[in-house]
Chain A
Amino acid sequence: MPTVAPLDLEGHCVAAVFLNDVPHFALADGAIHRLDNGQKTVQANDGLLAAFHDAANDRLVTGGEDGKVFAIKAGGEVNELASAGKKWVTSVAAGPQGAIAYASGKTAFVRFADGRVKEFAHPRSVEGLAFSPKGMRFGVARYNGATLHFPAAEGKPVELEWAGAHTGVTFSPDGAFLVTTMQENALHGWKLADGKHMRMSGYPGKVKSLSWSVKGKWLASSGAPAAIVWPFSAKDGPMGKAPLELGTRGNMMVTCVACHPSQDVVAIGYEDGMVIAARFADAKEVLLRRPGKGAITAMMWDKEERRVAFGSAAGDCGVIDITA
């Protein structure tokens, strides 16, 4: 039976991550709390809006209302990486070789490990950012499509067009697919080799959480009263295929998904704070946490595949131990 070590905080949890195996919780007020022999807190942004777990560097990259970008490492080390001015930093991402990207208004910035910053201006707002797992390449979600930039080289970006407002973006772990979340309760995908489109629609709500399963065979998503899990193992991705629907619960919306690091299992967080784990093969479910005070907004598995850190919109966070 899983056990939950609760951590009751005040405010909206933007990210729940493990840094050096210590659970960290980044809240909207910019406080980063960690459970490291007792609760400890450091301060990052004045108003934290976006966070990205930089696994390669074992750090959390954050952006916020203060127009700044911070990196938080285990042990409470906070470093300001960049400042974009008076506008909000609304999206951050981490890439290869210590590079990070951040967005402010219509500009995407890439900061290389040596501190050099390169700007990429767009005609419309930069809504979402993600690095490709291969090569120095990043994608921008924007109105009417996505743009791929190659920050280490000069040259024209690649434009991927699809009508509508694209609000978030992710690459598949093998770099073959780019998937965006949209304003209109749908995902859109491109097969990058040939630009083929994939339209994944039918969600009753906006999709705000995406998670790739091990080796990118599946893409789990929120936005419905079940986790919607699209198959990506075929060469054309999910085209012509139906998704799995896991953890279906009446009219309770799934707000957060986090795939297990090595097995075809997904942790599913709901609007009422409940968390379950569901297996792809047989849809078997295990309750991990009973409903709490607020919608689950963030989750992450640890390296040992034993614990799940979670956070909610109401601040009732914690760590689930599935082996206990």
Chain B
Amino acid sequence: MSDAQTQIPVTVLTGYLGAGKTTLLNRILSENHGKRYAVIVNEFGEIGIDNDLIVESDEEIYEMNNGCVCCTVRGDLIRVVEGLMKRPGRFDAIVVETTGLADPVPVAQTFFMDDDVRTKTKLDAVVALVDAKHLPLRLKDSKEAEDQIAFADVVVLNKTDLVTPEELEKVEATVRAINPAAKIHRTQRSGVALDEVLDRGAFDLSRALENDPHFLEAHDHDHDHHDHDHDHHDHDGHDHHHDHASDIHDVTVKSVSLRGGEMDPKKFFPWIEKVTQMEGPNILRLKGIIALKGDEDRYVLQGVHMILEGDHQRAWKDGEKHESRLVFIGRDLDGDKLRKSFEACQAA
């Protein structure tokens, strides 16, 4: 029954008006990739493709009645996904296009918190379209632009032809400062290869972090080969975003990257539970690969606010260093406190 049923992957497209979402969506709907997509939009825009499976819904944010301020879901998505899944044979995947000002968090949480939606679908990745020219301005006038980048698995840095190479470096550095874990693609006219935005498995614990060489490494000084065009990383790894933010004063999201040895599971799990309970409202995303003492498998973690998922992923390879890496992206995070308490979970 429902267990055996394959879950339909869902890609969430975020980005400001004019960033290139519609162009990308038109490509997804028209290019010959052998897959059929159902698209959920909140505003009927310029989608020039005639497709029965473009569904317009009114953005409907539900706060859950459990006293948790960050437990929000999108009621419209629950309804539309349920409706679409009554006739599942019509499409292979779903794309959710959010409005420019949409908060990506309730969209993503819907796919974890609603039982019916979770049974039938799985979140594949959150893709943020960013207009290279207008990002500095967007960051000045809204929190949403920053949230969309902070929350993304993939950032498509679009309209690169409208900025100078220096401006582009600076914009990419800003994106990287907000979200060190996202994969960034520089594009013109949303010309990213579709397999870089679709079927990413970014929330799939068995694949998470595996297909992402940049995870926690872009600002890692032991791996300069990743940094060929990221020379802004030659600074202290802690509080790195402050350096970047020096000429863009509007970044409030911070990332805290932690690295340690093998963890004591008796200390680590209570710690991460407590951190997500206490700091949940401040955590937009967390991702990690944890080496547990006495465990032959890598343990992978990912979280959204207070939702935390973890599982054994695969065995450590021969010669692979058993180390633990964890990144938090959020606001008002106390990096020193997180680092100290994380390190205290290391096995003796």
**Contacting B86 at CB < 8 Å: which of A14, A127, A182, A272?**
A14
- Neighbouring B residues of A167 by C-beta, 8 Å: 75
B31-66 interface bits toward A, Cβ cutoff 8 Å, 1 = contact, 0 = none: 000000000000010000000100111101010111
Complex interface residues of chain A between 188 and 207 (CB less than 8 A to chain B): 205-206
B1 touches A (CB below 8 Å):
yes
Q: How large is the interface on B (under 10, 10 to 19, 20 to 34, 35 or more residues)?
A: 20 to 34
Complex interface residues of chain A between 162 and 208 (CB less than 8 A to chain B): 163-165, 167, 182-184, 205-206
- Neighbouring B residues of A272 by C-beta, 8 Å: 1
- Neighbouring A residues of B1 by C-beta, 8 Å: 271-272, 294-295
Pairwise interchain contact B66-A90, C-beta atoms closer than 8 A: no
- Neighbouring B residues of A206 by C-beta, 8 Å: 115-116
Report Cα–Cα, A295/B3, bound state, in Å: 13
Pairwise interchain contact A47-B87, C-beta atoms closer than 8 A: yes
- Neighbouring A residues of B162 by C-beta, 8 Å: none
How many whole Å from B343's CB to the nearest CB in chain A? 39
A218 touches B (CB below 8 Å):
no
Pairwise interchain contact B65-A163, C-beta atoms closer than 8 A: yes
For B114, the closest partner residue in chain A by CB is A183
- Neighbouring A residues of B73 by C-beta, 8 Å: 183
Pairwise interchain contact A184-B115, C-beta atoms closer than 8 A: no
Pairwise interchain contact B87-A11, C-beta atoms closer than 8 A: yes
**Contacting A165 at CB < 8 Å: which of B58, B75, B86, B87?**
B75
Pairwise interchain contact A205-B115, C-beta atoms closer than 8 A: yes
- Neighbouring A residues of B78 by C-beta, 8 Å: 183
B221 touches A (CB below 8 Å):
no
- Neighbouring B residues of A16 by C-beta, 8 Å: none
Complex interface residues of chain B between 284 and 324 (CB less than 8 A to chain A): none
Pairwise interchain contact B65-A105, C-beta atoms closer than 8 A: no
B79 touches A (CB below 8 Å):
yes
- Neighbouring A residues of B57 by C-beta, 8 Å: 87-88, 105
Report Cα–Cα, A14/B55, bound state, in Å: 20
- Neighbouring A residues of B52 by C-beta, 8 Å: 46, 65
Complex interface residues of chain A between 62 and 119 (CB less than 8 A to chain B): 65, 86-88, 90, 105-106
A124-137 interface bits toward B, Cβ cutoff 8 Å, 1 = contact, 0 = none: 11010000000000
**Contacting A184 at CB < 8 Å: which of B60, B64, B87?**
B64
For A29, the closest partner residue in chain B by CB is B87
**Contacting B87 at CB < 8 Å: which of A28, A127, A182, A183?**
A28
Pairwise interchain contact A88-B115, C-beta atoms closer than 8 A: no
A283-324 interface bits toward B, Cβ cutoff 8 Å, 1 = contact, 0 = none: 000000000001100000000000000000100000000000
- Neighbouring A residues of B124 by C-beta, 8 Å: none
How many whole Å from B107's CB to the nearest CB in chain A? 16
How many whole Å from B274's CB to the nearest CB in chain A? 25
Pairwise interchain contact B87-A12, C-beta atoms closer than 8 A: yes
- Neighbouring A residues of B115 by C-beta, 8 Å: 205-206
Pairwise interchain contact A183-B75, C-beta atoms closer than 8 A: yes
A49 touches B (CB below 8 Å):
yes
Complex interface residues of chain B between 71 and 86 (CB less than 8 A to chain A): 73, 75-76, 78-80, 83, 86
Pairwise interchain contact A49-B75, C-beta atoms closer than 8 A: no
A88 and B83 in contact, given A165-B75, A205-B115 (Cβ under 8 angstroms):
yes
Report Cα–Cα, A171/B83, bound state, in Å: 25
B184-200 interface bits toward A, Cβ cutoff 8 Å, 1 = contact, 0 = none: 00000000000000000
- Neighbouring A residues of B83 by C-beta, 8 Å: 47, 49, 65, 88, 90
A207-226 interface bits toward B, Cβ cutoff 8 Å, 1 = contact, 0 = none: 00000000000000000000
- Neighbouring A residues of B66 by C-beta, 8 Å: 184
For A163, the closest partner residue in chain B by CB is B65
Report Cα–Cα, A165/B62, bound state, in Å: 6
Report Cα–Cα, A84/B214, bound state, in Å: 48
Pairwise interchain contact B87-A124, C-beta atoms closer than 8 A: no
- Neighbouring B residues of A138 by C-beta, 8 Å: none
Report Cα–Cα, A90/B80, bound state, in Å: 9
A230 touches B (CB below 8 Å):
no
A232 touches B (CB below 8 Å):
no
Report Cα–Cα, A165/B113, bound state, in Å: 14
Report Cα–Cα, A134/B295, bound state, in Å: 66
A25 touches B (CB below 8 Å):
no
How many whole Å from A14's CB to the nearest CB in chain B? 7
- Neighbouring B residues of A295 by C-beta, 8 Å: 1
How many whole Å from B1's CB to the nearest CB in chain A? 7
**Contacting A105 at CB < 8 Å: which of B44, B58, B62?**
B58
- Neighbouring A residues of B114 by C-beta, 8 Å: 183
Report Cα–Cα, A90/B87, bound state, in Å: 15
Pairwise interchain contact A90-B79, C-beta atoms closer than 8 A: yes
How many whole Å from B79's CB to the nearest CB in chain A? 6
Pairwise interchain contact A49-B86, C-beta atoms closer than 8 A: yes
- Neighbouring A residues of B65 by C-beta, 8 Å: 163-164, 182, 184
**Contacting A125 at CB < 8 Å: which of B55, B76, B86?**
B76
A143 touches B (CB below 8 Å):
yes
List 10 A-B pairs, minimum CB-CB distance, nearest first: A28-B86, A164-B65, A12-B86, A165-B62, A125-B60, A28-B87, A105-B58, A49-B83, A184-B65, A125-B58
Q: Given contacts A105-B58, A125-B60, list 19 more A-B pairs with CB under 8 A.
A: A11-B87, A14-B86, A28-B86, A46-B52, A49-B83, A65-B55, A86-B56, A87-B56, A88-B55, A125-B58, A125-B79, A165-B62, A165-B75, A183-B62, A183-B73, A183-B78, A184-B64, A205-B115, A294-B1
